[in-house]
C-alpha cells in the first residue's frame, strides 16, 4: 500500500543528520585540517621574527622559506607586493609565486590611530629611507609602506620600535590593530574615552602567543563615540551611559564584511572601562577555541556568532571564560549625523582639532614629516589617523589655526576639501595587491578631480558628503558595502565587447542610523572609464529629486 502524504513508507527511524566538525579546538579538533592551520601548528608564526633578523635579512629574498614568505611573515605586517605588469584578468589564474614580487608591503599598526608628532616624523623618515617615500593611511588607521626589501626590515623595526611603534600582528590570523575614535579624550560629546582601554589591551595581550593563533583575523574597535564602523568588527566596545552605573561600553560581536557581510550583534551587556581588556580577552578566547578552523571561508568569528546567536555567545563567554555574569545594559543612541572629523572643531579643553583630507589615504613619507613639523609649529604634539583615511592635528590654539590650515593645504591636505574628496575611500588595488583585479588609488584620485569639475554647480547642495568607496576585488578592504556608492573591482565587458577593468555597483549602504549593506544593483556594472559619468548621474538624480531631509537612498 502506498503511504499517505507525510507518512514514511519504512519503519526505520530517520537518522539524525551528522554535522561535520568545523575544526573547533574546544570540541577536540586539535589536528590541523588545512595547510594554514598546519603551518601555524608546525611553528608559531611569531617565531618568524628571529629568522627574518638572523637569516633572511642577511641572505636575501631567495633564502626565504615559502611557508614563512606567504604565511608567517604576515604576523609582522609583511606581505609580498604584486609583481608589476600583471593585469587583473590574470590574478586568479596564476600561482601565488608567480604574483610575488621580491619587495614587501609593511603595515605599521597604529592602535586608535594615535601618534605623537615625533612618531609621525619617524614613520615618514623610515619611509624616505627604506620605502621609496611611500605611505598610505589605511581605513584601519594603519600606515602601509611599499617597496620594502627584506634586507632592510630589521633596521626598520629598530627605528620604528625606538619610537614606540610596531608591526606585530598587523596582519595574520591574530588580533589586528584596534580601531579607536580619532577624537578620543578630546571630543566635547564623547560618552567615555576609550583610549585607556585600547592601551591596556595592547599592554596585556599584544604579542602573546596564546592570542596570536586564531582561526582567522580578529578586528577590534573601542570608541566612546560611533565613529569607528563598530557594526562590522569581530568585537566592538561602544560608549553608552548606563542609567545606574554611568558611562561604560556596549559590547558587539560578529560583524564583518568581505564576501559574506554581516552586521555585528549586541550582547546586551554593559562593561565599565577597566573591565574592557578582560572581556576582550574572553571574546578572543571564545573565538580561538570555538572558531571554525576547517575552512578559511568560514573561519571569521561572524560565522560562529551567526550560528550561535548573541545569547549563546554571551552565555559561553560568561560561564566558560569570565566566570561571572556581565551587567545588562542599554543600546547606545544612534547619532543623526555621520562624523568624519574634517575641518576645524572645538575640543572640550577649548583648543581645536583640525581634520585634513588626503585623497583615499595616499600620502608620502615626506608629507607625513611636513605634517609633523606644521603641527609642532602650531603648538601641537599629537596627530590621529582616521578610519576614513584622513589625518587630524589635535590641540591647536585658535590663534594658530589659519597658519596650520594654510600649511596643510600647501602640502596637499586641504581642511575644506570638496565633498567628493571628503567622501572617497580606496583600497590598495592592483598597484601592489596580489588579490586585486583593478586599479583603485589612481582611479580614486582621477575620480575626485573629475567629480569636482562635473559637479561644481551642485557642490553647495551636498550637506552630507556622498561616500564613494573603491575596492580592487571582492574582499572589501575599502568597506564598499557600507558606502552610499560602492564599487567592487572586476573585469567587465565594455560597449565594444572588450574585457576591461570595471566595477560592480553597490548602492545605498551605510552605518549608524542607516546601518545596512548597499544593494548590489543587478546589471549595474561600469567600466573604469565610465566611473565619473555614473557617479555624476546618480548624484544629480539624488540631489535634484530628494525630499527635504531625505538621506542617500537605500
Q: Which residues would be at the binding site for ligand SF4 (CB under 6 A)?
A: 427-429, 433, 435-436, 471-473, 475-477
Smallest distance, ligand SF4 to C-beta of residue 215, A: 19
* Residue whose CB is less far from ligand SF4, 473 or 483: 473
| Cβ closest to ligand SF4, residue 283 vs residue 436 | 436
Nearer residue to ligand SF4 within complex by CB, 294 or 479? 479
Contact criterion met (CB below 8 Å) for 235 and 220: yes
Spatial CA neighbour of 194 closest among 227, 151, 159, 168: 227
| Contact between residue 348 and residue 187 where contact means Cβ atoms under 8 Å apart | yes
CA separation for the pair 104, 147 (Å, rounded): 6
If the CB atoms of residues 363 and 435 are measured against ligand SF4, the closer one turns out to be 435
- Determine contact, residues 263/231, Cβ cutoff 8 Å: yes
Instruction: Supply the minimum distance, in Å, between the C-beta of residue 431 and ligand SF4.
Output: 10
Smallest distance from ligand SF4 to CB 328, Å:
38
Residue pair 430/400 in contact by the 8 Å Cβ criterion: no
Minimum Å distance from CB 105 to ligand SF4?
10
204 three-state secondary structure: helix
- CB nearer ligand SF4, residue 141 or residue 415: 141
Q: Please report how close the Cβ of residue 488 comes to ligand SF4 at its closest, in angstroms.
A: 8
Min CB(476)–ligand SF4 separation in Å: 6
Cell of 449: 578631480
384/434 with CB nearer ligand SF4: 434
Which helix (H) or strand (E) segment is 147 a member of?
strand 143-148
Q: CB of 70 within 8 A of CB of 137?
A: no
Q: How far apart are CA 421 and CA 412, in angstroms?
A: 12
Smallest gap from Cβ 504 to ligand SF4, in A, equals 13
Task: Report the alpha-carbon distance of residue 88 to residue 474 in Å, rounded.
Answer: 13
Q: Which is nearer to ligand SF4, 394 or 436 (CB)?
A: 436
C-alpha cell at position 141: 588607521
Least distance from C-beta 359 to ligand SF4, angstroms?
A: 16
Quick one: 80 or 418, whose CB is closer to ligand SF4?
80
Question: Cβ of residue 426: shortest distance to ligand SF4, in angstroms?
Answer: 8
The full DSSP string for 488-529 is EEEEEE-TTS-EEEEEEEEES-BSGGG-BPPEEEEEEEEEGG
Distance CA 465, CA 484 (A): 9
Residues 6+ positions from 41 with CB-CB distance below 8 Å: 32
Residue nearest to ligand SF4 (CB): 472
Instruction: Return the sign of the alpha-carbon dihedral for residues 173, 279, 203, 107.
Output: positive
- Please identify, using beta-carbon distances, which residue of 128 and 475 lies nearer to ligand SF4: 475
Min dist CB 34 to ligand SF4, Å, is 20
- Residue 133 CA: distances (Å) to CA of 114, 364, 373: 21, 5, 17
Amino acid at each position: 500500500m502506498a503511504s499517505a502524504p507525510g507518512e514514511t513508507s519504512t519503519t526505520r527511524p530517520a537518522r539524525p543528520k551528522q554535522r561535520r566538525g568545523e575544526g573547533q579546538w574546544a570540541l577536540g579538533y586539535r589536528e590541523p585540517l588545512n595547510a594554514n592551520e598546519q603551518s601555524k601548528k608546525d611553528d608559531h608564526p611569531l617565531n618568524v621574527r628571529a629568522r627574518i633578523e638572523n637569516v633572511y635579512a642577511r641572505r636575501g629574498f631567495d633564502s626565504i622559506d615559502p611557508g614563512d614568505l606567504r604565511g608567517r611573515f604576515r604576523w609582522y605586517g609583511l606581505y609580498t607586493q604584486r609583481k608589476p605588469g600583471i593585469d587583473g584578468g590574470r590574478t586568479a589564474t596564476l600561482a601565488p609565486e608567480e604574483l610575488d614580487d621580491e619587495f614587501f608591503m609593511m603595515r605599521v599598526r597604529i592602535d586608535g590611530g594615535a601618534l605623537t608628532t615625533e612618531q609621525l616624523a619617524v614613520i615618514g623618515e623610515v619611509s624616505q629611507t627604506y620605502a621609496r617615500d611611500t605611505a598610505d593611511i589605511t581605513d584601519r588607521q594603519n600606515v602601509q609602506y611599499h617597496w620594502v626589501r627584506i634586507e632592510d626590515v630589521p633596521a626598520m623595526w629598530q627605528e620604528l620600535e625606538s619610537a614606540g611603534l610596531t608591526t606585530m600582528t598587523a596582519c595574520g590570523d591574530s588580533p589586528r590593530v584596534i580601531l579607536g575614535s580619532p577624537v578620543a579624550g578630546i571630543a566635547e560629546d564623547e560618552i567615555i574615552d576609550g583610549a585607556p582601554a585600547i592601551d591596556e589591551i595592547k599592554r596585556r595581550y599584544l604579542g602573546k602567543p596564546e592570542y596570536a593563533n586564531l582561526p582567522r583575523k580578529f578586528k577590534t574597535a573601542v570608541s566612546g563615540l560611533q565613529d569607528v564602523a563598530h557594526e562590522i568588527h569581530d568585537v566592538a566596545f561602544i560608549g553608552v551611559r548606563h542609567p545606574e552605573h554611568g558611562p561604560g561600553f556596549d559590547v558587539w560581536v560578529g560583524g564583518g564584511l568581505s564576501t559574506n557581510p554581516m552586521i555585528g550583534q549586541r550582547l546586551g551587556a554593559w562593561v565599565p572601562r577597566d573591565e574592557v581588556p578582560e572581556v576582550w580577552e574572553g571574546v578572543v578566547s571564545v573565538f580561538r577555541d570555538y572558531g571554525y578552523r576547517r575552512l578559511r571561508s568560514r573561519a571569521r568569528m561572524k560565522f560562529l556568532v551567526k550560528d550561535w546567536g548573541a545569547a549563546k555567545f554571551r552565555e559561553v563567554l560568561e560561564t566558560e571564560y569570565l566566570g561571572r555574569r556581565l551587567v545588562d545594559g542599554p543600546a547606545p543612541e544612534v547619532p543623526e549625523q555621520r562624523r568624519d572629523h574634517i575641518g576645524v572643531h572645538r575640543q572640550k579643553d577649548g583648543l581645536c582639532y583640525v581634520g585634513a583630507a588626503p585623497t583615499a589615504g595616499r600620502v608620502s613619507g615626506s608629507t607625513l614629516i611636513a605634517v609633523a613639523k606644521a603641527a609642532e609649529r602650531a603648538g601641537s604634539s599629537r596627530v590621529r589617523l582616521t578610519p576614513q583615511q584622513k589625518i587630524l592635528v589635535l590641540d591647536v590654539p585658535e590663534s594658530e589655526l589659519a597658519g596650520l590650515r594654510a600649511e596643510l593645504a600647501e602640502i596637499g591636505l586641504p581642511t575644506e576639501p570638496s565633498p567628493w574628496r571628503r567622501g572617497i575611500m580606496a583600497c590598495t588595488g592592483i598597484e601592489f595587491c596580489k588579490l586585486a583585479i583593478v586599479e583603485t588609488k589612481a582611479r580614486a584620485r582621477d575620480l575626485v578631480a573629475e567629480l569636482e569639475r562635473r559637479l561644481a554647480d551642485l557642490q553647495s547642495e551636498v550637506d552630507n558628503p556622498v561616500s564613494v568607496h573603491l575596492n580592487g576585488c571582492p574582499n572589501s578592504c575599502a568597506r564598499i558595502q557600507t558606502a552610499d556608492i560602492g564599487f567592487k573591482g572586476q573585469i567587465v565587458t565594455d560597449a565594444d565587447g572588450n574585457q576591461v577593468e570595471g566595477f560592480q555597483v553597490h548602492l545605498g549602504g551605510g552605518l549608524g542610523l542607516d546601518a545596512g549593506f548597499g544593494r548590489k544593483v543587478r546589471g549595474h556594472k561600469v567600466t573604469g572609464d565610465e566611473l565619473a559619468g555614473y557617479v555624476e548621474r546618480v548624484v544629480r538624480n539624488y540631489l535634484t529629486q530628494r525630499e527635504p531631509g531625505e538621506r542617500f537612498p537605500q
